[in-house]
């Protein structure tokens, strides 16, 4: 394609005298037609119904993109509008559907508009054909899933409200609730100028009391971002219970992800909305939401799960471990204290052995956590003399640790008192 023709295409194809027989004229790099180039520039002029450029509406470049893909990706609203209007007639003549055409990644123009957060283009395409939101791409992502995954909540909300047949599905067997839970992690965000102005006097006082560096961090950050949680709750009202029960390719339900993130509000709402079997769902490692919350040390989530379904504490993972085993292994001291002191349903499980015969106390000795060892050994209900399948007590595990120095063993002795002598098979 010569430079004069290329530049004319960039300017929107206004000079029709340059476009005689252009059937085989393509750019050398991406194999774009002149209509692709005009769409990329965003300066496309409205085409006449008898225009010889109309067949280019359906031509695809090396990436499989039509001019509509190109315009949607760039966010050129008027260009998208022109292409959509022209396709209404030519679709019938060409026996094709421009809006549903997919590129090499199986993306439609709507996927491209969503990916780049072009809300107005999304609105136009959804209005033209709401069922576009039911199409998934090569990754398995629906437009709604893509928007939620990128935290484009305005785009996602528009799809939810205006595309009744939209797909909830996403990659790896996930659905919209999985990704809403994953992206619900609360992060600090800047205060608005209005909030800054109203808190100016507070800042002056704190600046004096605490020092400028700490105050600046406190002042310019919010504590929580509630928009992400709010979106998840809004989605929850729209979907069916089955979506909440759906496990992804790794066996994780939305509840697993909410527990992993530590969003107790979502956890509570999922438990209210879901079936009674929801807390008992286990992933491919056999871990329930309670196991995952224990591993991450999210006490508020642990409490919510235990209050909603006390018997969930009886679940074991594929290694035969309780949530207490997992909390100890992950060195989550506060979770360990919760299971020992507050979770009454857990009382008969504190000495339960896993597949290797290890109690939580054995696990504490293995990971070498002083504080958790102290907590467990001071609890009169803990069986300090329990042996695992290797015939070892927790003290045997401590003393058999070749990486421990004599000073460390001495420190263990001080912490554990007579347990070192009483329960050691090496003594």
| Confidence check: pLDDT of 425 > 60 | no
- Amino acid 341: pLDDT: 87
Give the separation between CA 277 and CA 245, rounded to whole angstroms.
Answer: 9
Give the separation between CA 317 and CA 330, rounded to whole angstroms.
Answer: 15
| Confidence check: pLDDT of 215 > 50 | no
Give the separation between CA 349 and CA 311, rounded to whole angstroms.
Answer: 11
Instruction: Return the exposure string of 354-390: e unless at least 16 CB atoms fall within 10 Å of the residue's CB, then b.
Output: beeebbbbbbbbbebbeebbebbbeeeebebebbbee
Question: Which range (161-175, 370-384, 398-412) has the least confidence?
Answer: 398-412
pTM value is 0.82
Give the separation between CA 8 and CA 16, rounded to whole angstroms.
Answer: 9
Please give the share of the chain, as a percent, with pLDDT higher than 90: 57
Question: What is the separation, in whole angstroms, between the first and last Cα of the chain?
Answer: 88
Alpha helices in 95-142 (DSSP H): 109-115, 119-128
**pLDDT tens digit sequence for 389-423:** 999 999 889 888 766 655 566 666 665 655 554 54
For the chain, domains (ranges, CATH) are 1-104 (1.25.40.20), 316-421 (1.25.40.20)
Using CB atoms within 10 A of its CB, is residue 131 exposed (0-12), middle (13-18) or buried (19+)?
middle
What is the three-state SS of 145-177? Answer: HHHHHCCCHHHHHHHHHHCCCCCCECHHHCEHH
Band of the pLDDT at 185, cuts 50, 70, 90? confident
212: Cα separation from own chain's centroid: 35
Using CB atoms within 10 A of its CB, is residue 151 exposed (0-12), middle (13-18) or buried (19+)?
middle
Give the separation between CA 22 and CA 248, rounded to whole angstroms.
Answer: 49
- Amino acid 45: pLDDT: 75
Question: Which range (4-18, 30-44, 214-228, 277-291) has the least confidence?
Answer: 214-228
**pLDDT tens digit sequence for 148-159:** 999 999 999 999
**pLDDT tens digit sequence for 315-363:** 999 999 999 999 999 999 999 999 998 767 888 899 999 999 999 999 9
- Amino acid 202: pLDDT: 46
**pLDDT tens digit sequence for 107-150:** 999 999 999 999 999 999 999 999 999 999 999 999 999 999 99
Average pLDDT, the chain: 83
């Amino acid at each position: 394609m010569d430079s004069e023709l290329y530049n004319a295409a960039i300017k929107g194809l206004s000079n029709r005298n340059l476009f005689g027989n252009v059937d085989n004229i393509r750019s050398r790099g991406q194999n774009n037609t002149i209509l692709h180039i005009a769409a990329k520039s965003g300066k496309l002029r409205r085409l006449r119904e008898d225009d010889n450029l109309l067949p280019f509406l359906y031509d695809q470049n090396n990436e499989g993109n039509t001019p509509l893909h190109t315009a949607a990706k760039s966010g050129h609203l008027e260009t998208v509008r022109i292409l959509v209007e022209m396709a209404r007639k030519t679709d019938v003549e060409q026996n094709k559907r421009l809006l549903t055409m997919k590129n090499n990644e199986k993306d439609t123009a709507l996927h491209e508009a969503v990916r780049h957060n072009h809300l107005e283009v999304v609105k136009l395409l959804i209005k033209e054909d709401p069922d576009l939101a039911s199409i998934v791409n090569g990754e398995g992502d629906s437009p709604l899933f893509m928007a939620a995954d990128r935290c484009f909540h305005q785009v996602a909300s528009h799809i939810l409200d205006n595309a009744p047949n939209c797909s909830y599905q996403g990659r790896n067997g996930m659905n919209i609730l999985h990704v809403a839970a994953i992206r619900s992690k609360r992060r600090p965000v800047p205060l608005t100028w209005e909030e800054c102005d109203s808190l100016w006097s507070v800042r002056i006082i704190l600046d004096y009391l605490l020092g400028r560096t700490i105050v600046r961090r406190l002042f310019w950050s919010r504590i929580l971002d509630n928009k992400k949680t709010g979106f998840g709750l809004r989605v929850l009202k729209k979907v069916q219970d089955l979506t909440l029960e759906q496990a992804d390719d790794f066996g994780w339900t939305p509840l697993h992800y909410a527990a992993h993130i530590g969003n107790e509000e979502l956890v509570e709402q999922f438990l209210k909305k879901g079936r009674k079997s929801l807390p008992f769902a286990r992933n491919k490692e056999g871990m329930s939401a309670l196991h995952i919350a224990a591993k991450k040390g999210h006490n508020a989530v642990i409490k919510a799960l235990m209050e909603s379904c006390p018997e969930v504490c009886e679940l074991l993972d594929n290694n035969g471990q309780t949530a207490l085993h997992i909390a100890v292994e992950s060195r989550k001291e506060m979770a360990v204290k919760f299971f020992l002191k507050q979770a009454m349903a857990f009382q008969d499980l504190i000495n339960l052995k896993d597949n290797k015969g290890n109690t939580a106390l054995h696990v504490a000795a293995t990971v070498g956590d002083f504080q958790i060892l102290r907590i467990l050994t001071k609890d009169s209900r803990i069986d300090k003399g329990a042996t695992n399948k290797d015939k070892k007590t927790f003290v045997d595990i401590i003393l058999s640790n070749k990486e421990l120095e004599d000073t460390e063993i001495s420190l263990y002795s001080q912490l554990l008192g007579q347990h070192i002598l009483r329960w050691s098979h090496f003594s």
